[in-house]
Amino acid sequence: MTQTAALDDLVAASGQVLSARHADVGTSRETARRGRFVKLAVLVWVLAGLAWWRVLAKDPAAAFLPLPSIDPFLLTIIVFFGLLLALTVGQQVLSGRSPHVVYRPEQIDVSLDQVVGIDGVKDDVVRSLNLFLAHRVFSTEMGGTPRRGLLFEGAPGTGKTHLARAMAKEAGVPFLFVSATSFQSMWYGATAKKIRAYFKALRKAARKEGGAIGFMEEIDAIAMSRGGVSTAMAPAAAPMTALSPMTSCCGPLATPATGSAGGGTVTTPFMSEGTGGVVNELLVQMQSFDALTGWQRLGGWFVDRANLLLPPDRQLSRPSLLPSNVLLIAATNRADSLDPALLRPGRFDRRLTFELPSKSGRRALVDHFLARKAHEAELDDDERRDALAAITQGYSPVMIEHLLDEALVSAVRGGRSAMTWKDVEQARLVEEVGTGAPVEYTAHERVLIATHEAGHATAAWLTAPQRRLEILTIIKRRGALGLLAHGDREDVFTRSRTELRALVQIALAGQCAEEVFFGDVSTGPGGDLLYATNCAAEMVGAHGMDSTLISYLAVQNSSFSDTNIVGRVLGDPRGRDQVEAVLQELKTAVRALVVENRHLVEALRDALLEREELIGTEITDVLEQAAARGPRPAVIDLTQPGVAAATDAPA
């Protein structure tokens, strides 16, 4: 293929991977193959020539190299010390071997078509892969510098290793996998030696195959910021509250995420000389992908000696440096802690962030996983799959697959060979909250817990109709005697004041239900109050949703500037009073709502006492039926003194 045609293919490739056979990688591989064939042919001809020479010498049975006669005792001594020397040298050599594992393309069973749910990152990776395959065209025809390093950062289970393996499969080149922890050694200098050996093997594979992809897992194990190196961070906006959809009756299941002010400079105060040397070695190797081979260095040595004897106009040229087509990919969950020198262009040219999949990405993942997992026909329904994508908000691809595996386990436990929707719901409940523990509540506790959880669900149905009621249970799981699971119907990235107030009301509704029905409160609402306090504190101190517009995130150099936003607000007397006022106001409102709709609470309470657990539409069905019937008529006991007289009195 001509350079012009290759350039046209590179420019025209839109979201598609170039053919490795017709790209620069394939051309380099074919050139290397022909070179090896020529060397083999020369070796065969030399051996054939020696054989013919012995035949023509009329002594074909004689040995090429006659062995000398050695005394057996002397031979034993030579062998002993030879083995001892080999053991000593071998230990040093083996301690510096590269710990990588080589995977050939045919050994990798993952292709880019099987990478779903991360389309944004996948598109960027395809572009980088095309630049890797057509590296010579991109550099010579367009004058660009191909990407030499990609840094994959993101939460665990978001597909970093999965995508790197797919890249090696599509590129058709060796994939040198190594865990950064395997470089570490107890011997001083051995870690740096292993790093040098790894990059040497990477360059060697690239020269043989036209290219090679190296993948370094958890690079932060050897690439932490060195002592005294400052990492400047861009100012970060205050993170949006990640409100948990779980409301428990006994102990918090989750609290709103809080953040501190971003920006500034982080300086690593100390790092050992050995660790700093490892980072330095990694920096040097990543900058020096191109290096002379051993034969080139040997030839250069002879050329240098010859040039000492030659005049300046007759100097011999040294062997030229042949670039190695290497692409290094590293994965980490802690990119901000890496040495800043690693992140500059020329080392890691591209930094790709793997986010948790969106709803459309989760739907694609659900389709992908269910295509090879046994399931009933109900899970083929688009509405069911959309619902599954919705309830798995915040799940990584690995978590979604694990959820479906647990649903299969639930099906096997039930004596079935395929999962159902109920199996999925049960698996999700177990994964997020834990398995149910058999607890023998007293009769009073059972009614109390059912009333408490019914209060949560009723408030959620009335104040936040945009939320999805998922699970309502009085079965003990972990630290929760009962819980209500509710979540957003769609992926949301901001919340309004009304939504946050509704969430606080939902959290306080359990305590209000206890007061209305029992005239007393229990220790159960402890987790609810924690959640409500965190949410109200963020409303007051971070989002300007009360009477003050002051952001407590701006507090610096004070006694509580290093605490989270909740600690800063509650540490200020005025902020504490504002939070208390918000909580009291919302509690009054939700208590009135519970009193007005006590028939809904009673209906849910009775259903929970009967079935112990309601899932999805079972909750809303009970509420809708109770709302349709209306409030229960008041019962008047005519036997009570004064009641009959009041009833008979004229209007």
> For the residues 284-291, what does the mean pLDDT come to?
74
Residues 216, 188 share a domain: yes
Residue 258 has a pLDDT of: 32
Q: 81 in a domain, yes or no?
A: no
Listing DSSP states for 398-427 in one string gives HHHHHHHHHHHHHHHHTT-SSB-HHHHHHH
Q: Is residue 80 part of a domain?
A: no
Of residues 404, 355, 354, the one with CA closest to residue 379: 404
The CATH number of the domain where 622 resides is what? Answer: 1.20.58.760
- Residue 402: give its domain's CATH number: 1.10.8.60
| CA atoms within a 13 Å half-sphere pointing along the CA-CB vector of 575 | 25
Q: Residue 484: which H helix or E strand, with range? A: strand 483-488
On whether residue 619 sits in a domain, the answer given is yes
Instruction: Report the pLDDT value the prediction gives residue 457, as an integer from 0 to 100.
Output: 93
Whether residue 258 lies inside any domain: the answer is no
Q: What is the mean pLDDT of residues 205-224?
A: 86
In angstroms, the CA 326 to CA 198 distance is: 12
At 495-513, the pLDDT tens digits run: 899 999 999 999 999 999 9
Residue 264 has pLDDT above 50, yes or no: no
Reading the block at residue 55, the tokens are: 């035949």
Instruction: For residue 222, name the pLDDT band (cuts at 50, 70, 90).
Output: confident
Q: How many angstroms separate the CA atoms of 244 and 517, rounded?
A: 27
Q: How many domains does the chain have?
A: 3
Q: Which helix (H) or strand (E) holds 485?
A: strand 483-488
pLDDT at residue number 260: 34
Decide which of 354, 374, 394 is a domain's last residue: 354
Q: What's 148's domain CATH number?
A: 3.40.50.300
pLDDT tens digits for 308-361?
A: 888 888 888 887 777 778 889 999 888 888 888 888 888 888 888 888 888 888
Same domain, 572 and 602: yes
**Residue 639 counted as domain residue:** no
Q: What is the DSSP string of 149-174?
A: EEEEEESTTSSHHHHHHHHHHHHTS-
Instruction: Inform me whether the pLDDT recorded for 237 exceeds 60.
Output: no
Whether residue 595 is found in the same domain as residue 495 = yes
**Residues labelled catalytic:** 453
pLDDT mean across residues, the chain: 80
**Which pLDDT value is given to residue 35?**
83
* Interior angle at CA 131, CA 204 and CA 205, nearest 5: 10
Looking at the domain assignment, is residue 68 inside a domain?
no
Residue 625 lies in a domain: yes
Question: Are 281 and 425 members of one domain?
Answer: no
Q: Name the least confident of 9-18, 286-295, 384-393, 404-413.
A: 9-18
pLDDT digits (tens, 9 = 90+) for 158-192: 888 888 888 888 888 888 999 888 888 777 778 88
The residues, any chain, with a CB within 8 Å of residue 189's CB and separated by 6 or more, are 277
**What pLDDT is recorded for position 60?**
59
Residue 244: pLDDT over 50: no
Residues 446 and 408 in one domain: no
Residue 541 above 70 pLDDT? yes
User: Is there a domain that residue 56 lies in?
Assistant: no
Range with lowest mean pLDDT among 112-116, 184-188, 192-196, 289-293: 289-293
> Within this chain, do residues 411 and 530 fall inside the same structural domain, yes or no?
no
Q: Give burial (CB, 10 Å; 0-12/13-18/19+) of 445.
A: middle
In terms of pLDDT, which residue wins out, 592 or 181? 592
Lowest mean pLDDT among 132-136, 238-242, 300-304: 238-242
97 and 194 in contact (C-beta within 8 Å)? yes
Asked if residue 590 has pLDDT above 90, the reply is yes
Examine the domain organization and report whether 488 and 612 are in the same domain: yes
At 558 the pLDDT is 63
Same domain as 371, residue 513: no
User: Do 648 and 615 meet the contact criterion of CB atoms below 8 Å apart?
Assistant: no
Task: State residue 129's pLDDT score.
Answer: 85
Which pLDDT score is estimated for 537? Answer: 92
Q: Which of 176, 198, 289, 209 is nearest to 36 (CA)?
A: 209
pLDDT at 234: 38
Q: What is the pLDDT of residues 453-491, one digit of tens each?
A: 999 999 999 998 888 888 888 888 777 788 888 888 877
- Whether 284 and 335 share a structural domain: yes
pLDDT of amino acid 232: 44
* Whether residue 155 sits in one domain with residue 43: yes
Are 9 and 108 in a shared domain? yes
Domain span at 217: 3-48+100-225+277-289+324-354
Give the pLDDT of residue 94: 66
Q: How far apart are CA 434 and CA 428, in angstroms?
A: 9
Kindly report the three-state secondary structure assignment for every residue of 560-624.
Answer: CCCCCHHHHHHHCHHHHHHHHHHHHHHHHHHHHHHHHCHHHHHHHHHHHHHHCEEECHHHHHHHH
What are φ and ψ of residue 163, in 5° steps? -70, -40
With both helix axes pointing from N to C terminus, report the angle between 598-611 and 573-596 in degrees, rounded to the nearest 10: 80
329: three-class secondary structure by DSSP: strand
- Interval 266-275 mean pLDDT: 45
The arithmetic mean of pLDDT across residues 518-538, rounded, is 91
For the chain, what percent of residues have pLDDT higher than 70? Answer: 81
Structure tokens of 373? 């997992």
User: Which two structure tokens, joined as six digits, stand for 109?
Assistant: 């069973």
pLDDT number for residue 288: 65
State how far the Cα of 488 lies from the Cα of 243, in Å rounded to an integer.
Answer: 10
**Residue 647: band (very low, low, confident or very high) from pLDDT cuts 50, 70, 90:** very low
Same domain, 619 and 477: yes
Determine which of 50-59, 131-140, 480-489 has the lowest per-residue pLDDT on average. 50-59
The predicted pLDDT at position 341 comes to 85
